[in-house]
A and B are shown apart, each in its own frame.
Chain A
Amino acid sequence: MSAETPFSSKRFLLALMLAACSVILLQNHSLSENSSFLFELASMAAGLALCFLCFVPTLLLRKLRNADILQLSARSPAVVKLPVAVFYAGYFVYTALYFLIPYTDMFHAKYYPGVSPCLITVVLLGCCVYAAVKGVNVITRFGIFLFLFAMLTNILMFGGNLTALELTADSLSWQGSTDDFWQNTRYFLTPAFIAAVFACLNAETNNFRLRQPVCALLFTGLKYAAVLFFIRFAVGAYAGRQEYPTFVLSRTAHFDRFAGVESFYLALATMSVFMIVSLLLCCVTKAADREKNLKTVVLFTLILLAMYTVSAYVNSVKEILTNQNVFIIFTGIASLLPLAGLIGGRKSNAPTLVHSM
């Protein structure tokens, strides 16, 4: 099966972090409006540090047991195996919807108000099914392209806004309350879902090391810091009024007579959602059933579509599916569950994957 092919965790992490950035920034910019730039940076550092802590159980599991949580649970009795599989399948479905709903809403509100959001979701999920069936390794290869495209888009966005920067004497002031700190930290905890993805996939990679999540998180932090800086000092108060401030940043970027790289940013956001949803479908497939790949992917895609349709008509369902607190609690459990595997799981007898792609 294609999902068994080992993949490079280095490129995978970098692409995922950049993809996650784009998707998270695309969502409602839920940072506190009362906090200053330096305060935002501090809460971002705290959020990303917590993200790193979410990686620790997976790193330990990899080092000590050479397996992922699903492999460990597969060797356990049915009373352990079934709840773990159900939890991870449910978690990945929830996460896929958590990223898909804001994206589709944005696409519908900004570009195609006349088209049903469900239709946009059908088209997007159709592409994701194909990628998910091909497996994680193919998605990581797509990640190479995504990484470079993300770099290009960000360079254009930041470079094009350099002349619009307006720094004042109070630009580097320190302002914010404890509530603001927690609100911002919660927002920056979103990339922790990648730790949960690795908890399920780390047996399929051959070079997952401690320094990789550290470097990827540092890289993500730098990008976030640049985005926050430009949103704060190039777009200013206008960003606070807009639902999608990063789009404003891409619109205001200009080089002489050439103005606006919005299409670049939209393409990046679309590819990021596409990559993340495909990957989550891969993880769902792995959690649910390792043999019948296509059937399982199609089944879970239909579940995603059904849940999306329900959320489009029932607002309370949508609120639960896009609730940041629920997402973070789920992510925390999913990334810390490998600790339980470490305590209770048996050592793997499977040969270590040695060949790199």
Chain B
Amino acid sequence: MRRLLCIVCSMAFLLTGCSHSRQIESAAIIENVTVDRQDGGLVYTFYRLTSGDDPWGIAVSAKNFEEACRLASEEYIPNLSLSKLELLLISEDAAETVMTTDLPYISTQPFFSPVAYLTLCDDRTVDAFRKTNRTQRLIEQQLILLKNHNPSVSIDYLSVFNHLAADRAEGFLVPFIYSDKELKIAEYRLHAKKMTENH
């Protein structure tokens, strides 16, 4: 019994996992993703989790989110992890493609968090996001305030997906962030049917 205990204790020390540990700065945990259109094509920017104020983003041009994840993990971030994704920020002109193609893909992946925030925005907000990490905190604060003010607005991925699937004629409300010297928030009505037809 004593020998067994000694072996177990030694194993516990040897197999702590510290030998393969990585600092948070070098880990590939993605905290936010922005999607916008540049030169007609979609650009997905993956922002890694950092403790500083400067964002650490990697932009990937791709047809859809699935391809963007694959390219990002093959070419830039080998250990890409999306399980801690907090915010998916979609530029207004990329919304249609993301809602009709990317959301159904994300819904089948077990590692995505269904409670991650999802919001539409203008191009200036995407630019502001590239400059500082404080933008994310401001957006999240605005989203919570909007939800408290109007509970019918869908601010997370789960709620947006379910409204899209329900396909109601009157549509549903999602947040829209716009930048006019400072960040502001408004409600934006989406119609699942119209988007599917246009797409």
15 inter-chain pairs at a CB distance below 8 angstroms, sorted by A residue, are: A235-B158, A236-B162, A237-B161, A237-B162, A237-B166, A238-B161, A238-B162, A241-B104, A241-B108, A242-B110, A243-B110, A247-B110, A248-B158, A251-B113, A252-B114
A 217-246 binary contact with B (CB < 8 Å = 1; else 0) = 000000000000000000111100111100
Report the bound CA distance from A248 to B111 in whole Å: 10
**Known contacts A252-B158, A259-B115, A260-B115; is-contact A236 B110 (Cβ 8 Å):** no
Q: Which residues of A contact B (CB under 8 A)?
A: 109-110, 166, 235-238, 241-244, 247-248, 251-252, 254, 259-260
Q: Which residues of B contact A (CB under 8 A)?
A: 104, 107-108, 110-111, 113-115, 158, 161-162, 165-166
Report the bound CA distance from A12 to B165 in whole Å: 42
Q: Chain B residue with minimal CB distance to A249? A: B114
Other than the given A237-B165, A254-B115, 8 more pairs (CB < 8 A) read A109-B110, A110-B111, A166-B162, A237-B162, A237-B166, A238-B107, A243-B110, A260-B115
Across-interface contacts of B165 in A (CB, < 8 A): 236-238
Across-interface contacts of B113 in A (CB, < 8 A): 251, 260
A-B contact count (CB 8 A): 41
Whether the pair A238, B158 counts as a contact (CB closer than 8 A) is yes
Across-interface contacts of A252 in B (CB, < 8 A): 114-115, 158
Across-interface contacts of B114 in A (CB, < 8 A): 235, 238, 248, 251-252
Report the bound CA distance from A166 to B151 in whole Å: 12
Across-interface contacts of B110 in A (CB, < 8 A): 109-110, 242-244, 247
Most buried by A among B104, B107, B110: B110
Report the bound CA distance from A242 to B109 in whole Å: 7
Across-interface contacts of A235 in B (CB, < 8 A): 114, 158
